[in-house]
Structure 1
């Protein structure tokens, strides 16, 4: 009888395992299939990203070589390709190179837009903040104080990589717009800062000296006057290879 009971129990366990297998094997198989598809998709995405990064680096290097030979059009085309194919660092660097070309061509609005795009593409403040700072410097030539402050003040926050340079630029902007007291506060912070480059510290001390001596009071008026009445161009000699026009000899004084 004991053997019969054991056989019955074994049969029951066997049927239970079969039932569990029929119930769970399709689910486990589906999970494994999804995991395999996800792994293959990840591998394919990684391979694609690696290929795009390689193509972007090749185009970026081609742009640098074009710049060295003075081929602005070729450099612009190569950096555009690098920005389109790359992401992150390569895209940000390529956009900044394009902005530099725009500055050289005096296309300042285009340059500002490209620097902004580079900052957005970079994400990391180490790459993004220099692009934002360069855009702010370009805005300082024609923008309002509110526009300049909107761009520079976030860069002056603690821990930002361009902080001392942004503080200096913001101080100069406030000085230019007739706010010497506010500018002096920023320059004083620069003279006391721990991580301020020595050159920036010295310029801040010089600016404080100008403010304290009230020499800086007329800076805004001088800048405004130069914008309305720009200084006369410096006269230069004749181009190379040409001679100056002959002048009539002065008459000799009467004896």
Structure 2
């Protein structure tokens, strides 16, 4: 599970870079220097209080991540919980780390899943979408395929690394529920999905090699369909 979460985080980093580039590239082309100057003026001159609050949150986040790395799970959990409760732009990222702290520190998978599910949004920030996907992985064994698709929402249609991971999870769940035809179709699409991370593509190839091809259903001709279904009676020959 931890390997999957690492792959989700890697896809998140790639997706976040792409999202930022798409959102701000026109400003970059039009005048990066002017934009940076305006942001600096707004942050440090017009609104010094907000800048100070953000700096304090960043410092608290850094401290919590250091505590997590050092194995100080109790203090790390307290720090991340406070950041999550503030409902700032840093909260979704803190929620991902809080779930990791709960899982690594005490093996609290249920608590970690609840944190991820609460903070996850299919149409939210990259960190919120990553949290939703991680929650879906954690719940995959205990929910139905329909419930899993509902949980993932529009994320499963997204043309991104996170979207590809969501589609892979659905393919695996379809096979687990006894629908190899749907699973093969989904894995075959992932194999040629330009947005899919290499790990997803490799696993799709492995799955396609392992999942048997369903037997084709025979198509009845009109004559076969009209034929009687009960066996005909045979006349026994009798000797004279």
Q: TM-score, normalised by structure 1?
A: 0.59
CA deviations on 1:5-59 (whole Å, 9 max, x unpaired) are: xxxxxxxxxxxxxxxxxxxxxxxxxxxxxxxxxxxxxx99944432321221111
- Find out whether 1:110 has 2:102 as its counterpart: no
Change (3 A) 1:187 1:175: same
CA contact (8 A) 2:190 2:201 kept: yes
Mapped partners of 1:166, 1:67: distance in 2: 28
Mapped partners of 2:115, 2:151: distance in 1: 15
How is 1:78-227 mapped onto 2 (pairs within 5 angstroms)? Answer: 78-85=79-86, 87-88=88-89, 90-104=90-104, 105-120=106-121, 124-212=124-212
Number of residues of Structure 1 aligned to a counterpart in Structure 2:
171
Change (3 A) 1:173 1:123: closer
Higher relative contact order (CA 8 A, sep 6+): 2
What is residue 67 of structure 1 aligned with on the other side? 68
How is 1:228-239 mapped onto 2 (pairs within 5 angstroms)? Answer: none
Q: CA deviation at 1:192?
A: 1.9
* Greater Rg by CA: 1
Deviates more, 1:189-198 or 1:68-77: 189-198
Mapped partners of 2:91, 2:123: distance in 1: 11
Q: CA deviation at 1:127?
A: 1.9
Mapped partners of 2:117, 2:205: distance in 1: 31
Structure 2, unaligned runs of 5 or more: 1-43, 215-240
Change (3 A) 1:102 1:144: farther
Q: CA deviation at 1:95?
A: 1.2
Q: TM-score, normalised by structure 2?
A: 0.63
Q: CA deviation at 1:205?
A: 1.6
Mapped partners of 2:153, 2:175: distance in 1: 15
Change (3 A) 1:108 1:180: same
CA contact (8 A) 1:53 1:86 kept: no
Secondary structure class of the residue paired with 1:162: helix
Secondary structure class of the residue paired with 1:212: coil
